[in-house]
Amino acid sequence: MAISLSYREKSLYASLAVELLVYGPYFFLHRQNSINKVAGMIIAIIVLQIILQSVVAALTRNRVTDERDRLIELRGYRAGYLTLASLMVVGLGMLWFHATVGRLRLDNRMVGLHFLSVFFGMLVIADITKTASQIVSYRKAL
């Protein structure tokens, strides 16, 4: 049986594909932290999202969203927020531990970049959790 996808669902799959395509290589293949790479990644995300979302919108005749879409969206944001809050607590604990026990120099530029990358990674994980949670919600009973 063919699975029928709504406009919002197609849009979510497109978002997830872009997030994995851009964030994946950045976090798993890069060797050095740099502000330029983060900036390049953000630009790539914006450009790819605009292109893919335009294609999805052009290929979908019925772009209606309803109460179920809104409920699923809210659930996704809740999952994303809980993930971000949990990771932030872990991240801040890690920062505190390294700064006090490990005698980490927080004024060192490379250390600053490293933690910037870690916190950016948390934001990315929370965003992917939000999108994935919404996709799962469309397939299971609410």
Partner 1 sequence: MAAIRNQIRELRALREMTQQELADRIGVTRQTVIAIEQDKYSPSLETAFKVAIVLGVSIEQCFQYDPRGKR
Contact 18, 42 (CB under 8 A): no
Identity of the residue, 117 or 134, whose beta carbon is nearer to partner 1 in the bound complex: 134
* Alpha helices in 1-140, H assignment, sequence order: 7-29, 35-59, 67-100, 109-139
For the bound state, the minimum distance from the C-beta of residue 64 to partner 1, rounded and expressed in Å, comes to 5
Question: What sign for the dihedral angle of Cα 16, 18, 22, 24?
Answer: positive
Interface ranges with partner 1 (CB under 8 A): 4-7, 9, 62, 64-69, 138, 140-142
For the bound state, the minimum distance from the C-beta of residue 134 to partner 1, rounded and expressed in Å, comes to 13
Identity of the residue, 66 or 107, whose beta carbon is nearer to partner 1 in the bound complex: 66
For the bound state, the minimum distance from the C-beta of residue 142 to partner 1, rounded and expressed in Å, comes to 5
Of 19, 33, 8, the C-alpha closest to 80 is 19
